[in-house]
């Protein structure tokens, strides 16, 4: 049977306390009879404006997120391709440096995952990628020229992807748009708290739902903006999975055992 809720529930859970707090505050204001604002026909327009801003942010961050989802797989593909050349070189012409190069690929895969999860040693990742030059220099005279070009191309592709990941982590999407979206959300919730919306039960349900959606969507957009965040070294609700890199590292370790 198809599961109804297949996503990560952490964002749903994190947004709930904010909605509960707002509902409790609104309940106390209703009990005290505090209604300094009357219901205005402009309130729906304000909600619509906030939805428009959120939609604008979501569209912008989603496009970058879709790109980010492919990046770990591209690194894995390059690692696997270079590993194939190492296996061929280890067999014919039988260079011992081929095994060392394969071990370096394992180090590179591990270094990239550690950099992404713990946000340190980026310089080590770049240095490990550059250290492949030492092995390519040895391979060059022993293998066909086209193979050397292929190795350098895959090295360049990995470096490009790693730099793209670093750029995504360091760059935020339209900071001014985040500011207006969050400020408008706060103002909107305050207006809803101060406005007489009618019966208590529908009012609490309405303001709780609106607050929940606002908090959830703004949190989701923040997470989508940095899909390589990994707070605390763990994959978050909207972080890109690194399972493909982990599996590639395991396969490379297994290959290293077969030629050792």
Is the peptide bond between 93 and the residue preceding it cis, with omega within 30 degrees of 0? Answer: yes
Distance CA 65, CA 70 (A): 9
Residue whose token pair is 């801003």? 53
What's the rounded Cα separation, in Å, for the pair 119 and 141? 38
pTM of the model: 0.81
Do the domain assignments include residue 1?
no
161 domain-assigned: yes
Task: Report the domain count for the chain.
Answer: 1
- Answer yes or no: is 32 within a domain: no
Whole-number pLDDT of residue 19:
93
Structural domain contains residue 111? yes
Instruction: Give residues with Cβ within 8 angstroms of 7, minimum separation 6.
Output: 237
Can you read off the two tokens belonging to residue 233?
């070294």
The CA distance from 18 to 20, in Å, is 5
The predicted-structure confidence for 18-34, as pLDDT tens digits, reads as follows 999 999 999 998 888 88
Question: pLDDT tens digits for 168-221?
Answer: 888 877 777 788 888 999 999 999 999 888 888 888 999 999 999 999 999 888
- Going residue by residue through the chain, which has 260 residues, state the pLDDT in tens, using 9 for 90 and above: 445 555 567 778 888 899 999 999 999 988 888 888 888 888 888 888 888 989 888 888 888 888 899 999 999 999 999 999 888 888 877 788 889 999 999 999 999 999 998 877 899 999 999 999 998 888 878 777 778 888 899 999 999 999 999 998 888 777 777 888 889 999 999 999 998 888 888 889 999 999 999 999 998 888 888 888 887 778 777 788 899 999 999 999 998 888 76
Domain residues for 250? 10-27+37-260
């Amino acid at each position: 049977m198809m599961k109804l809720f297949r996503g990560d529930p952490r964002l749903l859970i994190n947004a709930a306390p904010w909605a509960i707090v707002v509902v409790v505050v609104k309940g106390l204001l209703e009990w005290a009879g505090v209604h300094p604002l009357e219901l205005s026909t402009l309130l729906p327009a304000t909600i619509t404006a906030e939805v428009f801003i959120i939609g604008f942010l979501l569209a912008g961050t989603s496009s970058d997120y879709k790109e980010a989802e492919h990046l770990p797989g591209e690194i894995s593909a390059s690692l696997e391709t270079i590993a194939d050349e190492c296996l061929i070189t280890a067999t014919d012409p039988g260079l011992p440096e081929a095994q060392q190069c394969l071990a370096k690929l394992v180090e590179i895969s591990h270094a990239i995952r550690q950099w992404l999860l713990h946000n340190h040693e980026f310089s080590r990742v770049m240095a490990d990628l550059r250290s492949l030059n030492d092995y390519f220099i040895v391979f060059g005279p022993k293998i066909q020229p086209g193979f050397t070009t292929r190795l350098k191309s895959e090295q360049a592709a990995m470096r490009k992807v790693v730099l793209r990941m670093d750029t995504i982590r360091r760059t935020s999407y339209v900071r001014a748009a985040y500011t207006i979206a969050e400020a408008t959300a706060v103002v909107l919730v305050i207006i809803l708290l101060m406005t007489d919306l009618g019966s208590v039960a529908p009012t609490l349900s309405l303001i709780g739902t609106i607050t929940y959606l606002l908090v959830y969507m703004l949190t989701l957009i923040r997470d989508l903006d940095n899909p390589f965040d990994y707070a605390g070294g763990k994959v978050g609700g909207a972080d890109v999975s690194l399972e493909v890199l982990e599996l590639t590292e395991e396969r490379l370790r297994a290959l290293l055992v077969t030629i050792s």
